[in-house]
Structure 1
Amino acid sequence: MRFSADMLEMTACAILILVSFVGNTCLFYSTRRCATGRPQTSFLLIFSLILVHLTKNLVVNVMKIVYSSGILVDEVGCKVLHFTAALTTSLAIWFMLHFALFYHRKLYQMVHPSSEVVPQTQQKHSLVGISALWVAGVAVYIPILIYTRKPEYPNTGNDTDSLSMPRIYMDCLIHFGDKQVEFYYGKIFLVLVDILPLAILVLVCFWMSFLLSEKRKMTYGDIWIGQDDSETEVLRGAKFSVVLMLLITPLWVSHFILVYFLKDVAAWVCIPAILTALSSGFSALSPFLFMLINYKMKLVSLCGARQEKPPPQPADAILSPYA
């Protein structure tokens, strides 16, 4: 049974690594080739998500393959595995919330236009927010590096439990040593840093769905007019946020429930592979969903609408004073 469980987990990891690498590489290439001039917020958010997705698969899942193949991992490897897995999961949720809020603001301004001028520093504030999320993620999970331990004699005790329990949860343990630290940090704080942004993401995306329905019914003097590139970018970004919210929320909740009841379901051979699929499914599928939404499009929502240059004026042309 141990051989079958390990093989299932290794197969799941290998498939996810391949799918994620292909999808995120294609998304990176598509995004990069339309990058001109100063990088926009949507551009940097997409690149941050790509980096998080590739780190999740090329670090965490590769280490899982090594670990499941029977190669012993030292304490440093255990620390890196737990830290990277937790960090990339949280950053994916945080960046998706940032992405959704960014396009929610733009969509709201489109549906309910305001006469107020958008401050020029808003772009700078968004970029600072992206950097702050990276720093905050590392700071939140530094205790994981401190408290992760590798038991001196792994897999001791009941043979049945050692055969059925996923090895990552047997040989790489997070031992806080203090019950209060374990309760407040391990069971409350670490759950809240994921579930609160996820709950806000769900609410924002439902609000965006309502705004999208309002936009669909909008007319200008009983006449519907076409949308320009900037409006197309906002609409595609909003739809992308809603679709990915519908993907990341069930995956995170299902993974959380399985980990919470791990002792009750540990006898299932497929549990390690299922946990891997749930934790890395978002990083593998989201690039393809993004490219699918932007199919047959001029890459507008990848890096913002491009400013079209006005046609050159003839040398002998007389410009109107009202031009």
Structure 2
Amino acid sequence: MKPSADALEIISCAVLICVSLVGNTCLFYSTSKCIAGGLQTSFLLIISLVLVHLTKNLVVNILKIVYSSGILLDSAGCKVLHFTAALTTSLAIWFMLHFALLYLRKLYQIVYPLSGATNPDPQRYSLKGVSALWVAGVAVYIPVLIYTRKPEPPNSGNDTGSLSTNRMYLGCLTGFGNDKVELYYGKIFLVLVDILPLVILVFVCLWMALLLSEKKKMTYGDIWIGDDDSETEVLRGAKFSILLMLLIAPLWVSHFVLVRFLKDLATCVFIPAVLTALSSGFSALSPFLLMLVNYKMKLVSFCGVRQEKSTTQPADAIPSPYA
């Protein structure tokens, strides 16, 4: 007997929730242990990503499990589902772009060191930037929260199995009451707020790949000098930023394309599970990559152990001058 679409979606949601809880909890714990000399930009971005990932899994995927279990969502449930899913997706892309730009700046300073003075207090501006992204995300999707509603089913007694595969995505509608608002805001603006940062992220990571190639060829007086700890952290962060881009971009594009053609794919039993995997795959897998950004470094992974064992550095030393 083949499993139903609802059963497959419940299984996929449960697996993603478990994986995301383990990964994001470990990432938050390892990051919080290292916050001793102030909130570095990388700390703020990692903590923000953890909150976004946990919100997506603990709200969106749990609502999907409830819906797939046979409990229909009311208008309030539809509002929370659409608003949270859209907000967490956009914030994940925006924070990843901020993360990549951070390591692009650090990497550029290594490859092309500047003789002039650098920004003396970048942390003050990073806190404002991260806070602004949170506020902007909520502001952008307030209309979605207001106008999402659950339509009355025309034939409530004729909910066939083939239609149940796409009811989660088509059963809650966002009606703006104006064709122009729906076109410019719902179909153009909401797509651009995701796809433009995603395109910029791709170009930023391509630029970092070129800088990494140049860094690999660098010599100092025809003598290659090994990287110190701070440079190793930057190089590792740049490399994993590229890997994270290669993860989030295909997932977002694939999810967007499938949702657009969902009516034609309604007969496919596995479509709800595939959509769930695409929408929540980044929040489940990226924490494990982020923990590897500073593997064996003080910044994230082993900072607590290294601080206890280190005797050559003062106790109040900042984990990395680049952070």
Q: Same fold (TM over 0.5)?
A: yes
Deviation (angstroms), 1:166 = 1.9
C-alpha spacing 1:61/1:272, structure 2 compared with 1 (3 Å): same
Deviation (angstroms), 1:170 = 3.7
C-alpha spacing 1:310/1:179, structure 2 compared with 1 (3 Å): closer
Aligned amino acid, residue 11 of structure 1: I
TM-score (norm: length of structure 2): 0.90
Residue 192 of structure 1: aligned partner: 192
Residue 101 of structure 2: aligned partner: 101
Distance in 2 between residues matched to 1:126 and 1:290, nearest whole Å: 19
Deviation (angstroms), 1:288 = 1.3
Distance in 1 between residues matched to 2:11 and 2:218, nearest whole Å: 49
Residue 30 of structure 2: aligned partner: 30
Query: Is the 1:212–1:235 contact (alpha carbons within 8 Å) kept by the matching residues of 2?
Result: yes
Aligned amino acid, residue 75 of structure 1: S
Note the 1:111-190 alignment, pairs <5 A: 111-153=111-153, 156=156, 159-160=159-160, 163-190=163-190
Query: Is the 1:40–1:303 contact (alpha carbons within 8 Å) kept by the matching residues of 2?
Result: no
Distance in 1 between residues matched to 2:13 and 2:288, nearest whole Å: 18
Residue 298 of structure 1: aligned partner: 297
Residue 321 of structure 1: aligned partner: none
Q: How high is the sequence identity, in percent, across the aligned residues? A: 72
Deviation (angstroms), 1:309 = 3.5
Deviation (angstroms), 1:294 = 4.1
Residue 319 of structure 2: aligned partner: none
What do the CA deviations read for 1:275-296 (whole angstroms, capped 9, x no partner)?
Answer: 000000000000112234544x
Residue 62 of structure 1: aligned partner: 62
Larger-gyration structure (1/2): 1
Distance in 2 between residues matched to 1:6 and 1:205, nearest whole Å: 38
* CA RMSD after TM alignment: 2.5
Residue 222 of structure 2: aligned partner: 222
Query: Is the 2:162–2:269 contact (alpha carbons within 8 Å) kept by the matching residues of 1?
Result: no
Residue 78 of structure 2: aligned partner: 78
Distance in 1 between residues matched to 2:154 and 2:220, nearest whole Å: 70
Aligned amino acid, residue 151 of structure 1: P
Distance in 2 between residues matched to 1:43 and 1:125, nearest whole Å: 14
Query: Is the 2:6–2:165 contact (alpha carbons within 8 Å) kept by the matching residues of 1?
Result: no
TM-score (norm: length of structure 1): 0.90
Aligned amino acid, residue 82 of structure 1: H
Deviation (angstroms), 1:70 = 0.7
Deviation (angstroms), 1:2 = 11
Distance in 2 between residues matched to 1:142 and 1:123, nearest whole Å: 29
66-75 vs 185-194, greater mean Cα deviation:
66-75
Distance in 1 between residues matched to 2:154 and 2:255, nearest whole Å: 24
C-alpha spacing 1:275/1:166, structure 2 compared with 1 (3 Å): same
Distance in 2 between residues matched to 1:86 and 1:77, nearest whole Å: 14
Where in structure 1 are there 5+ consecutive unaligned residues?
Answer: 312-323
Aligned amino acid, residue 22 of structure 2: V
C-alpha spacing 1:108/1:154, structure 2 compared with 1 (3 Å): farther
Residue 263 of structure 1: aligned partner: 263
Secondary structure at the aligned position of 2:235 is classed as helix
Query: Is the 1:42–1:302 contact (alpha carbons within 8 Å) kept by the matching residues of 2?
Result: no
167-176 vs 300-309, greater mean Cα deviation:
300-309
Aligned amino acid, residue 241 of structure 1: S
Aligned amino acid, residue 206 of structure 1: L
Aligned amino acid, residue 224 of structure 1: W
Deviation (angstroms), 1:176 = 2.0
Query: Is the 1:237–1:301 contact (alpha carbons within 8 Å) kept by the matching residues of 2?
Result: no
Report the number of matched residues. 310
